[in-house]
Every structure is written in structure tokens, then in C-alpha cells.
Amino acid sequence: MRLLTFLARRFIAGDTVENAISAVKNLNASGMTATLDILGENVKNQEQAIRTADSYISVLQTIADTGINSNISIKLTQMGLDISDQFCFDNVSRILDKAENLNIFVRIDMESSKYTERTLQLVYRWHEEYPNIGTVIQSYLYRSENDIKELNERQIRVRLCKGAYKEPKSAAFASKDDVNSNFIELTEMLIKDGNYPAIGSHDGAMVKAGMDLANKYSRSKDDFEFQMLYGVNRSAQRELVEHNYRMRIYTPFGTHWMPYYFRRLRERKENIIFIARHLFKD
């Protein structure tokens, strides 16, 4: 319990939206943008899912009122995907209406592979009406190459990450080298043909690959961005900003930090290693 509390202080922006806004102001002052995320997932109660959507709508208004440079990121299981696709679609559409009115971008997070197809089908539906929406693709999934082809064709913005859920061998690469190799191949697809891609990694080799591919395809530093987690590898974040790369920080907040961390740490030993490696880094 003490360890989890310590982790929360380092890697989560606080319990309240006021805490999160303060954290984002500090990031903005350092030349970084943010993505605000209210912690929570796997909601199976309609009333709770509606309340969470209402909270996001309030966060969007607060972003506009305070003038911070931030978008938002949401998990569909937090919005009622476990209840039904249509309920989730309607609930999230309320958030997208508000975000469109305020000209704020919304990222639909990707969860475990059992939700990937349903998530993408909903994203495709939303994107027909809301151009201010993007999603996430995980390089450890076999299917990701085809998914990125489709997303690039539709010009839907993608954040690429490696993936943090425990997946069956039938769905995901087991080898770290295979995951990394696929990450670089997918990065090339996004840099070449994607709509403002986001390269989400703390791995220096993956970051360098993004830089090299941007140079190869003459992609402007203003036409893609790197993304990292709040409190993780802060020196690398500052270095990217110093070299005039766009740096966005995924900034979670809220009171549901314990199940968030417990689940991530329990699912994959790689998550434990990742947290331990970055725990005392500046």
C-alpha cells in the first residue's frame, strides 16, 4: 500500500481536476503539452458511466476556461463499453459534442485486445461526424499493421505505443525484439502517410527511430509529436523540447489510482520493470 501511494505521487497528477490543471500549467511552462485522463476503467453501471462522461465534459470546459494547452484521453470501458456498444457510443458522443464546440482534440485509448475491434469500429463511426478524434495502436498486436493502414486511409490520428496489457500468444508478439521491430515498422507507416502521428515511447531507440524516419520522409517537427507518461523519464522529455520536438505528456488524475496501478503491475512483469527503472530517474 505504501509503495502504491508513493508511485501515485510520482506518476499521477493528483486526485482532483485542480491538481491536474496545476500540473499541466507546469508542463506548459516547460514547453510541453498534455493529455488529461481521468483514471478509471471497466464500468458496468450506466449511471457511473454517465457521471464519468459528465466529469470529462466539465474537464473540457475547465481546459477552455484556464487556457491550458491540453487535450483529453478516454477509455471506452470507462464509458460503458462493457454495457453495450450503442450506450458507449451515445455516452461518448456527448463528450465529443462539447470538445468539438471548444476545438479540443479527444484521444480514444486502446485497452486489451478483446476490445480492439469494437473500439476501432466506434472510432470509425465517430470520425465521420467528429474530425477532432484519434485513437491508439499497440505494436505488440499482430493486427496493428492492417489497422494502421486503415486509419491512415481514413486520416484518423494515431498514437503508437508498445502495449501494457497481458495478451494471449494468439494475439500478440511475445518477444521484446519483435515488439520493437514492429514498433519501428509502424512508426514508418505513420510518419510516411499518417495524419499528425504521435510516437508514444520512453525507449530511446524508438524515439531515435522516430527522429530518423521524420528526416527520411522530410516530416516537419511541427507535423508529429512524441508522447510520454507523466513523471517518467523527465530528462528525456526536456531534451526533446530543447531540440524543438513537440512533447505531449499523458497526465492521469483521479481517485482510482490504486486499481489502475495494481492491475498494470499484476498483469505483466514488464510493467513492474518499467516502473522500477524510472522510479528514481529525473
Catalytic option among 37, 107, 109, 157: 109
Q: Which residues contact 150 (CB under 8 A, 6 or more apart)?
A: 120
Pick the closest to residue 190 from 163, 164, 161 (CA basis).
Answer: 161
137 vs 161: CA distance, rounded Å:
6
Beta strand segments in the chain, E: 33-38, 70-74, 106-108, 133-138, 157-161, 198-200, 225-229, 247-253
For this structure, is 219 an active site residue?
no
- The kind and range of the H/E element at 154 are helix 144-154
Catalytic residue among 159, 219, 246, 248: 159
Query: Of 218, 162, 214, 221, which Cα lies nearest the Cα of 190?
Result: 214
d(CA 237, CA 206): 14
- Maximum Cα–Cα distance across the chain: 50
**8 A C-beta contact, residue 186 and residue 215:** no
- Strand partners of residue 159: 136, 198
- 212 included as an active-site residue: no
Using CA of residue 14, residue 7, residue 208, residue 113, what is the dihedral sign? negative
Nearest of 118, 111, 207, 114 to residue 163 by alpha carbon: 111
Residue type (1 letter), 175? S
Contact 275, 61 (CB under 8 A): no
Q: Please identify every residue annotated as catalytic.
A: 109, 159
